[in-house]
Each structure stands twice: as C-alpha cells, then as structure tokens.
Amino acid sequence: MRLSKLERKSAIAGYAMLSPAMLVIALVTIFPIGYSIWMSMNTINSTFTGFQFTFSGFTNYNIVFQSSLFWQALWFTTMYAAVTVIIELVLGLLVALALNQPIRGRGLAIAVMLIPWTLITVISAQMWGYIYNGIYGVLNYLLMSIHIINAPFLWLGSPVSATISMMMADIWKTTPFVTMILLAGLQLIPSELYEAAKIDGSSAWNSFWHVTFPLLRPSLGLAALFRILQAFGLFDLPFVLTGGGPGTSTMSIAMVAYKAIFNDGAFGPGTAVAVLTVALVILLAVGSLKALRTQVGEIDT
Amino acid sequence: MKRRTSRIRIRKLIGYIVLLGMLLIIVAPFYWMVATSLKGNLSIGNFPPTLYPHHPTFYHYQRAFTTYSFGVYFRNSVIVSVIATVVVVILAALASYAIARLPIRGKAPIMVFLLAISTFPQVAVISPLFLILQRLGWLDSYQALIIPYVAFNLPFAIWVMRTYFAGIPKELDEAARVDGAGVLTTVFRVIMPLATPGLFTGGIFTFVACWTEFFFALVFNSSQSFRTIPVGIALFSGQFTIPYGTIFAGSTVAVLPIVLLVLMFQKWVVAGLTAGAVKG
C-alpha cells in the first residue's frame, strides 16, 4: 500500500518526535548494560592513566561464585523479597477490600496512604533506626510499658531480629502503595457482578474467589512485579539502617556489588554481580507475570 | 433482610477499624520524627522518652541549615528533580504522542522494549556510567544525575501518557489537519491541552522518583557541594553520636514540600495507578 503524502509526512514527524527519548534511553541504559557485560569479562586495573582492561573470560564470575558473601547476599535478598512481597500483597489486599466500600474518610485515607510512597527511603531508615535504638528507642519503651518485654532489646543487634526489623520498616513504607494499586483495581470491578453473585446465592468467600480475585489479577500482577523488582534492587534501607550488619548478615546483592566496586575497587567482580542481578530480575519478572497470567495491555494503533 | 443489613453494618465497622488502624500506623512514625526534631538534645537521648517535646525548640532546624549544609542539599535536590522532570515530560509527551497517533512502524516492540527497560535495576549500569562520567569529568555535577534520571523515568512516563493520548478522539487531529495545521501545531494547540492530566501524572511520578533516588546520587555526587537530600541525610554523622535532632529537622523540611505537592495532585497520582491497573 502506498502511503499518501500526508501520511508519509506524519510518519517522518513521528520518528522525529520519538527519537530524542529513545536516544537518551539507549545511551544511558542499553549501551551501559552492554558495557557492563563487557566489563564483567575483563580484569580491570586502576592505573595512573585510567582503567586498564584485560579480557579474562569468566574469571570474574568464578571469583563471584566462589565468594561466600555473594551466596549469602543472594539468599538474604531472595528470602527478604519473598517474605516482604507476600506480606505486602496479602496485607494490601485485606486493607483494600476493607476500604472498598462507601465509608466516610476514605478520601483522607487515600491521601495519607500516598505519603509513605513520597518518603525518601533514607529518611525512613533513619526514622526506624531511631525507633529501634536499643538504648533510647521508643519501640522498647512501648513494648516495656505493656509488659511484652522486660528489658530494652537490641533490635538491630542480631541477624534475625535485624532482618525482621528491616522487613517491618519496608512493609510499613510499601504496603500503602500496594493497597492503592489494588484499591484502584477493585474499583474497576462493576458492582453488578457482586449483585449477580449474591442473587445466585454465592457466599462472600465464593464471590471473592470467583469474581474479585480473577478480575484483580492484573492489579495483583502489577503490584507483585513492581515490588519484586524493587526488592531485588534493595540498597537504601540496609545501607542506612544496618550498614549490612550485624557482620554481613543483612547485605543485599546490590550492596555487595556497590562495596566490591566502590570500596574495594574490584570493578570486574562487582560488575559481574550486577550482571547476574539483571539476569535474575529478568527471569523473575517473566515468571511472576506468567504466574499471574497478566498480559501486557494490547498496543492499539 | 434484617440479617443482610446487619452484615453490611459489620462490614462497614471492619472498614472503619482498618481505616483508623492504618492511619495510626502510617502517621505514628512521622509524628515521632517531627516531635524529635523539636526536642532538645538531652531529651532526644532520654529513656524513657518523652512522648511530646516539653520545651519545643527550633535549634535543630537552625543547625541543619547553618552548621550543616542542609540548604545546599535542598537546593541540589530541587535543581536536579525539577530539570529532570521538565525534560522527561517534554520528551515523553512527544514520544507517546508519536506512538499513540502517528503512522510509525514497530509500536508494539517499542512499548515492550520500554517495559523491559523499566525493569532493569540501577546496579546494572552503575559501573559503566561511573567510568563514563569520570572520563567526561562529570562526577559531582548536576548533569551526572539529571541525565540518568531522565533515562530511567522516561519509560514509565511514556507508558502513562500513551494511555491518555490514545483516549483522545482521533477526529480532533483530523479536523485540525483539514484546517491546514501541521503536526506540531496540532500537537501543541489541540492535543496537549487535552492530555494535560497525563502529563501531570507522568510528571508527578518522575518528580517523586528523582526526589527520593539514592543509589546514583551516592555514587556519582558524593562531594559536599553536590549531595542531594537523601545522600546528605544518609551521610549525616556526628563525631560521637548520630545527630538525630538535626537529621529529623532536615528530614521534616524534605518531607513537607513533596507531601504538599502530592496531596495537591492527588487526583493525578491515583489516575496513574489506575492506568497501571488497567493496562497492567
């Protein structure tokens, strides 16, 4: 089919309008990712004249795979992501279901739920660090005054309690956002469907599983995907709240890469960790979308 | 019938309890942050803590801006976030209009590509970007953050805005064309005004992402004069103790403007979430 002159002109204008955005994205994401892969296959030495690259195949990956810190951080990050994402989805769904009815103050609730999302994670980490503090933290005070504990507890003092404390801070900050996504999804479900289910004598439990849940799948998939990706990039919270400690027990993969590159100058192995993270994230993203059978919205022309 | 109304009542009651509990849990840590920022140094380190500042003082606010360079961090954050947001809105508006409306090839692959890009963790590009910025002599500069922020926020902004452009009737473009308007005139005079909500949504999400970003800012701009608020607050440290009073004074100042902004544009934020939910 031959394009009319007007159409050809519009198409040229279209490419011209699209290219600045695509150019920036290509330069700052695609090119560096390729470069990352190249870097991860080189031994990189810092010299006076700059960085010296020597191709070394999979040497860096071997170094990474032999490092117990990498495996520990990988396990920590995976476990942390799984636990926080599941709790946030379940909690977010329950709150969204409770709020998905005409009750007063819902507008206010939605406004307040947006606030933790706008909060700088570093600030949240400092805030919780002060609340958890073993000497003057308010959490110890509250728990002691209702006699749950008898003496101040060092929340960030042991690997297990530090991990749980960090998860709590994360759940506090992110559940409201998950709730918002799910609430938005719930409001798209026509109320006639519930009426019909009710007339058919369906119980609340049944109409949840047969009406709400299937229709909410896209929102759940979106929230899960969004959270999994974020959880695997985990960096800000442990960096400030625990510094990866006690010991290295709360080090995330991103922290391992950061420390290798910028504290130890190990560019090659550090970048290999980064590349492995990307591979893992892509697998998880595809997996979680498949699991929830979410489809990328059809691209209308 | 009676049983049914009582069931609805119980449901509502649960709704109110959840709502109140949630508000309390969200607000309490914020209250603690603001209350602490108004306390004197002695009562900040007290146990048991005082639940409200007995002698409120703005001492820490003054220190944050005079002894510490919180003013510099704040200025840096504003410059970087505002410029990055403006650039994202302009580039994303052009790109998403082209994808939604103009007869170009490969629209579906472009959208999938953008979705894929937006899933990449920042750590994936950190070492090459660091080397490139160092080579260019751009470490500790505004562009060191603005350019990556633009690139990382464009995909989502394009996704959101495309939804809006797709919702505007095509007849409007055609009518403008028939009247002899060129592509650019049509875009700026006819379509953009109608797509303003989409631009706001993309803009707000970008601004929040830039304002809260820590990883790039820590790696690329760690010198005192180019630190943004997150880096400044993360690296705030006293000689012997953590200066919580000053940290929370600075944090309160950092939280306020963005909370006001988001509450003002609440409608567009919620619209963005709904767009995400629809398009998934």
In this structure, are A79 and A146 located in the same domain?
yes
Asked whether residue A178 carries a pLDDT value surpassing 60, the answer given is yes
Among residues A19, A269, A133, the alpha carbon closest in space to that of B47 is found at A133
Nearest 5°: the CA angle A183, A187, A189 is 125
Model ipTM value: 0.90
Mutant choice from A1, A3, A4, A10 vs B, greatest count of B C-beta within 10 A = A10
Please state, rounded to an integer, the average pLDDT across all residues of chain B. 87
For chain B, what are the domain ranges? 2-57, 70-279
Instruction: Note whether A35 contacts B258, CB cutoff 8 Å.
Output: no
Q: Find the domain containing A18 and state its range.
A: 5-55
Which chain B positions have a beta carbon within 8 Å of A274's beta carbon? 121, 123-124, 126-127
- Window from A68-82, A247-261, B4-18 with minimum mean pLDDT: B4-18
What value does the mean pLDDT of chain A take?
Answer: 87
A9 CB neighbours in chain B (<8 A) are: 183
A297 pLDDT band (50/70/90 cuts)? very low
Q: Please report the pLDDT score of residue A6 as a whole number.
A: 74
pLDDT band at residue A299 under the 50/70/90 scheme: very low
More confident residue, B139 or B102: B139
Lookup: tokens for A246? 């006690």
Nearest to B167 by CA among B197, B189, B188, B204: B197
Share of chain B above pLDDT 70, in %: 95
Q: Give the C-alpha separation, B170 to B166, whole Å.
A: 8
Q: Say whether both A117 and A33 belong to one domain.
A: no
CATH 1.10.3720.10 fits B70-279, yes or no: yes
Same domain, A88 and A190: yes
B171 pLDDT more than 90: no
Confidence of residue A292 (pLDDT cuts 50, 70, 90): low
Q: Which residue from A minimizes the CA distance to B98?
A: A14
Cis previous bond, B109, omega within 30: no
* Average confidence (pLDDT) over A56-75: 93
Q: Which residue has the higher pLDDT, B273 or A9?
A: A9
Ramachandran area for residue A50 (φ above 0: left; ψ -120 to 50: alpha; else beta): left
Element (H, E) at A52: strand A50-55
Same-domain pairing of A230 and A138 = yes
Residue A301 has a pLDDT of: 34
- Is it the case that residue B278 has pLDDT exceeding 50? no
Section A189-196 average pLDDT: 79
The reply to whether A88 and A221 lie within a common domain is yes
Lowest mean pLDDT among A238-242, A258-262, A287-291, B11-15: A287-291
A230 to chain B: closest CA residue: B121
Residue A226 lies in a domain: yes
Which of A20, A130, A253 lies nearest to residue B36, judging by beta carbons? A130
Q: Taking CB atoms and an 8 Å limit, are B212 and A119 in contact across chains?
A: yes
Contacts of residue A274, Cβ cutoff 8 Å, sequence gap at least 6: A36, A40, A257, B121, B123, B124, B126, B127
Say yes or no to pLDDT of B274 above 50: yes
Each residue's pLDDT tens digit, B87-128: 999 999 999 999 988 888 888 889 888 888 877 889 999 999
How many percent of chain A have pLDDT more than 70?
95
Q: Do residues B77 and B60 make contact, with C-beta atoms less than 8 angstroms apart?
A: no
Count Cα neighbours of B87 within 13 Å in the Cβ-side half-sphere: 22
Instruction: Tell me the nearest-neighbour CA distance from B57 into chain A, angstroms.
Output: 19
Higher pLDDT, A298 or B254: B254
Nearest chain A alpha carbon to B266: A111
Q: Based on the fold, state whether residues A263 and A285 are members of the same structural domain.
A: yes
Q: In terms of CA atoms, which chain B residue is nearest residue A104?
A: B16
Nearest partner of A88 among A265, A225, A271, judged by Cα: A225
Residue A120 falls inside a structural domain: yes
Average pLDDT over residues B254-268: 86
> Does residue A106 belong to any structural domain of this protein?
yes
Question: A96 and A207, same structural domain?
Answer: yes
Interface A-B, measured as beta-carbon pairs within 8 A, has a size of 303
Q: Are residues A178 and A122 in the same domain?
A: yes
Q: Which of A103-117, A162-176, B2-16, B178-192 has the highest mean pLDDT?
A: A162-176
Percentage with pLDDT > 90 across chain A: 49
Task: Look at residue B275 in the predicted model and tell me its pLDDT.
Answer: 62
Cross-strand pairs, A46: A51
Average pLDDT over residues B199-224: 93
Q: What crossing angle do the helices spanning B126-136 and A31-40 adopt, rounded to 10°?
A: 100
- A74 located within any domain: yes
Q: Nearest chain B residue to A258 by CA: give it.
A: B123
Q: What is the mean pLDDT of residues A71-79?
A: 95
Task: Give the tens place of pLDDT for each residue, A249-262.
Answer: 999 999 999 999 99
Measured distance CA(B8)–CA(A300) in Å, rounded: 41
pLDDT band (50, 70, 90) for residue A181: confident
Evaluate if residue B16 carries a pLDDT over 60. yes
Residue with tokens 């109304």: B5
Q: What is the 3-state secondary structure (H, E, C) of chain B?
A: CHHHHHHHHHHHHHHHHHHHHHHHHHHHHHHHHHHHHCCCHHHHCCCCCCCCCCCCCCHHHHHHHCCCCHHHHHHHHHHHHHHHHHHHHHHHHHHHHHHHHCCCCCHHHHHHHHHHHCCCCHHHHHHHHHHHHHHHCCCCCCHHHHHHHHHHHHHHHHHHHHHHHHCCCHHHHHHHHHCCCCHHHHHHHHHHHHCHHHHHHHHHHHHHHHHHCCHHHHHHCCCHHHCCHHHHHHHCCCCCCCCHHHHHHHHHHHHHHHHHHHHHCHHHHHHHHHHHHHHC
Higher-scoring residue by pLDDT: B188, B3: B188
Nearest to B269 among A31, A114, A254 (CB): A114
For the entire predicted model, the pTM comes to: 0.91
Give the pLDDT of residue B277. Answer: 47
Looking at the fold, whether A245 and A283 belong to one and the same domain comes out as yes
Give residue B118's pLDDT: 79
Residue B4 has pLDDT above 90, yes or no: no
Cβ atoms of B146 and B83 within 8 Å: the answer is: yes
Which has the higher per-residue pLDDT, A277 or A225? A277
CB B95 within 8 A of CB A22: yes
Flag if A176 and B270 touch (Cβ within 8 Å): no
Same domain for A190 and A216, yes or no, is: yes
pLDDT, position A298 = 40
Strand partners, B275: none
pLDDT confidence bin for A300, thresholds 50/70/90: very low
Give CA–CA dist A177/A116, Å, rounded: 8
Min distance B239 CA to chain A CA atoms (Å): 17
Number of independent structural domains in chain A: 2
- From chain A, the residues in CB contact with B25 under 8 A are 172
Residues of B in contact with A281 (CB under 8 A): 119-121
The residue-averaged pLDDT of B40-65 equals 86
Instruction: Label residue A293 by pLDDT band (50, 70, 90).
Output: low
Angle at B152 between CA B148 and CA B158, to 5 degrees: 130
pLDDT tens digits along A199-252: 777 777 888 888 888 888 877 887 888 888 888 899 999 999 999 989 999 999
A117 CB neighbours in chain B (<8 A) are 208, 262
Measure in Å the smallest separation between the Cα of B60 and chain A Cα atoms.
Answer: 16
Q: What is the CATH number of the domain that holds A112?
A: 1.10.3720.10
pLDDT tens for A17-53 read 999 999 999 999 999 999 999 999 998 887 777 788 8
Note whether residue A63 is domain-resident: no
Query: Which is more confidently placed, A160 or A202?
Result: A160
Q: State the smallest CA–CA distance between residue A153 and chain B in angstroms.
A: 13
Q: Which amino acid is at B255?
A: V
